[in-house]
Structure 1
Amino acid sequence: MFNRDTPYESRSGTADRIKSSVSASPSMAIIFLCVISFLLEVVLMSVAPNLGYLYMSTFQFDPNSLLTRPWTLVTYIFLHTGLLHLLFNMIVMYFFGTALERRVGNKQLLGVFFTAGILSAIGYTFLSRPIFGISPGSMIGASGAIYGVFAALTVLEPNLRVYVYFVPMRLKHALLLFAILDFLMVNSSDMIAHTAHLSGLFVGLYIGFRMKKMHDKYRVMRYAGRW
C-alpha cells in the first residue's frame, strides 16, 4: 500500500523497532481481536439471533448510555457492521498501525489507537448536534481509532507515499482528502459516523505533534551532549 522504508527514529531507538516484530505487534493483536469479534457476531446471528443482538447491543456505543455503560467507549471499536467494513478497517490498520509502531514503539501505538478511539466516541456524542445538527445514534467500528493512527503517522511521516484507490499520493495529501470527504459527507444519510472520524483525526494530529516535539527535543539534547 505504501513504501515503509522511510526511517523515523523513536525515543527508544533501534531496540524498539526490533521488538515491534509481527509476533509482538499490537496492531496485529487489534486486527486479531476485531476478526474474532466479527466471527463471533456472525456465528451468533446465524445460530442464535437473540444472542447476536444481545452481543451487539451490549458492546456497541450509544451516546445516550455513555454514563451507564462506559465500557462501550472501548468495546465498540471491535465491532463491525459487515465484512467490507471490517476488511477496509483492518487493511488500513495493518499498513498504518504497523508503520506507526515501528516508528514510535508498541506502547505509543496503543496509546494513540485507544485515545483516538475513546475521544472519537466522545466527540461524536458532544459535537454532532451543536455543530452539525446531527442526532447521534449507536455506533460501532474501529474507524475513529484508525483515523487517529493515520493522522499521527502523517505528522511523523507526511511525505510517505501511499495509494488511495490505486492513485499514488503523499500521506499528508491522503489525510487531507479523507478529512475533506468526511466533512462534506457529515450530513449525509450513509450511516457513517463522520464526526467520529473527524474527532479521531484531530486527536491523532494532536498526539502526533506531541510525539514529534518530544522526539525533536530528545534529538537536540542527544546531539548537544556530544559537544
Structure 2
Amino acid sequence: MGFIDQLKTEYRVGGIVQRLIFWNIGLFIIPMILFSILKLGSVDIGIFDWTNPFSDDFFSLSSNPVDLLWKPWSVLGYAFLHSGFMHVLFNMLTLYFAGRLFLTFFTQKQLFGLYVLSAIFAGLVYILGYNLLPLLVGQTAKMTGASAAIMAILVATAVYAPYYEVRLMLIGTVKLWHIALVFIVLDLIYAPLDNSGGHIAHLAGDLFGFIYIKLLQSGSDLTKGVSGTIDFFANLFKSRKSAPFKKVHRNTTPPVRNSAVKPKDVTQKQIDEILDKISQSGYDSLTKEEKDFLFKVSK
C-alpha cells in the first residue's frame, strides 16, 4: 500500500478527530507549498503573504464586526486555519488528546458539532470583546486557530467526568478537571498581557463547553442541529445519485460464479464495506473479525 493510499485509509478509518487534524494540517501545508512555488516563480500573489497565506483579513476573523458583512465565513473558517508551525502543532496535539477523551463518553457527531458551535460562539465573543472591553476598545486585530474549539472539547469532557484520571508524562496521574483548570487559569492570567483576543476566545470556548454539558444533562443536545444539517445535505446528495426507476431483469437460469473475480477485487470490496460501516456507525461498531481483517490489510 502506497503512502497516499495509506493516508486515505487512515483518513477514512481514523474517525472525526483524525479528520479534523487532517483538515487543519492540510489547510496549513498545502497553501504554504502553493504560495512558495508561486513566489519562486516570481508570480505576483497580490494581497497575500506567501509565508502565511491565511494571515490576511480575507481568511482570518476580524475584530471589526463590519467585516462579517463581506466575509461571514470567517466566523467559523478561522477555526481551521493557523498562523505558524508551532501554532498548528500544539493545537493538533491538544485536539488529539482532548478529542480522544471526549469520545470516551460521547459520539463523533457530538464532537464535530461541539467543534463547530464553540468556534462560532468564541468568534462572536472575540468580536464583542474588542468592542466592549475598555482595554481593547479602539484596537483592531485578527484571529486564526482552533484553540477555542479545542478548549470547549476539553472543558466539556472535564465537566462531564471531572474525576477521570489521566496519566501525564513527567507529572503522573492527575484528574481531568485539574488539566482544564490549568488552561483556564493561564488564559485568565495572560488575557490582559498578551494576545488578549486569543485568550478571550479560549475562555469563551471554555464557557461554551460548560454550557453544552449542562444543557445536555438537562436533555438538550445543541449539536443535533449541526448533525441534522449535515445529514440533510448528505441525503440530498445521495438522492441525486440514485436513479428514479430500477429496471428488473428476470433470470430463469441459475447464477454462474464468475471465475474472473480476483482475490484482490474481493479484498478491496471487503475493505470498502468495512470503511462504509465505520463512516456510518464508527470504528467501535466493527466485529472482532472485521477489525482483525482491517488490521491485516493495513499491514
Contact 2:63 2:130 in 1 (8 A): no
How far apart are 1:24 and its partner, in Å?
A: 5.3
1:89: which partner in 2?
91
In structure 2, the gaps of 5 or more residues are: 1-10, 40-44, 221-299
Going from structure 1 to structure 2, the CA distance change for 1:22 and 1:188 (only over 3 Å counts) comes to farther
Aligned length: 195
1:53: which partner in 2?
49
2:22: which partner in 1?
32
2:171: which partner in 1?
167
Going from structure 1 to structure 2, the CA distance change for 1:46 and 1:118 (only over 3 Å counts) comes to same
> Which structure shows the bigger proportion of residues in helix conformation?
1
Contact 1:60 1:139 in 2 (8 A): yes
Range 68-77 or range 156-165, more displaced: 156-165
Counterparts of 2:15 and 2:88, CA distance in 1: 19
Going from structure 1 to structure 2, the CA distance change for 1:158 and 1:148 (only over 3 Å counts) comes to same
How far apart are 1:67 and its partner, in Å?
A: 2.5
Report the 3-state secondary structure (helix = DSSP H, G, I; strand = E; otherwise coil) of the residue aligned with 1:162. Answer: strand
2:242: which partner in 1?
none
Q: Which amino acid aligns with 1:68?
A: W
TM-score of the aligned structures, taking structure 1 as reference length? 0.76
Going from structure 1 to structure 2, the CA distance change for 1:142 and 1:113 (only over 3 Å counts) comes to same
Report the 3-state secondary structure (helix = DSSP H, G, I; strand = E; otherwise coil) of the residue aligned with 2:34. Answer: helix
Cα distance per residue 1:119-168 (max 9 Å; x no partner): 11111110244236223511000001101111111111111233667434
Identity among equivalent pairs (%): 27
What CA RMSD, in Å, does the superposition of the two structures yield over aligned residues? 2.5
1:63 aligns with 2:63: yes
Contact 1:63 1:138 in 2 (8 A): yes
1:183 aligns with 2:168: no
Out of 110, 118, 126, the residue aligned to residue 124 of structure 1 is: 126
Contact 2:156 2:209 in 1 (8 A): yes
Q: Which amino acid aligns with 1:30?
A: L
In the TM superposition, what are the counterparts of 1:1-227 in structure 2 within 5 Å? Answer: 23=13, 25-48=15-38, 50=45, 52-53=48-49, 55-56=53-54, 57=56, 58-64=58-64, 65-131=67-133, 133-134=135-136, 135-162=139-166, 166-168=170-172, 169-190=174-195, 193-214=198-219
Between 1 and 2, higher relative CO (CA 8 Å, sep ≥ 6) is seen in 1
How far apart are 1:53 and its partner, in Å?
A: 3.1
How far apart are 1:44 and its partner, in Å?
A: 3.2
How far apart are 1:68 and its partner, in Å?
A: 2.0
Contact 1:113 1:149 in 2 (8 A): yes
How far apart are 1:107 and its partner, in Å?
A: 1.4
Range 157-166 or range 204-213, more displaced: 157-166
Counterparts of 2:149 and 2:86, CA distance in 1: 17
Cα distance per residue 1:47-99 (max 9 Å; x no partner): 23537538422321113212221101121111111111111111111121132
4+ runs of 1 displaced by more than 6 Å?
none
Report the 3-state secondary structure (helix = DSSP H, G, I; strand = E; otherwise coil) of the residue aligned with 1:66. Answer: helix
Report the 3-state secondary structure (helix = DSSP H, G, I; strand = E; otherwise coil) of the residue aligned with 1:103. Answer: coil
In structure 1, the gaps of 5 or more residues are: 1-20, 216-227
Contact 2:190 2:196 in 1 (8 A): no
Counterparts of 1:167 and 1:66, CA distance in 2: 44
Range 157-166 or range 64-73, more displaced: 157-166
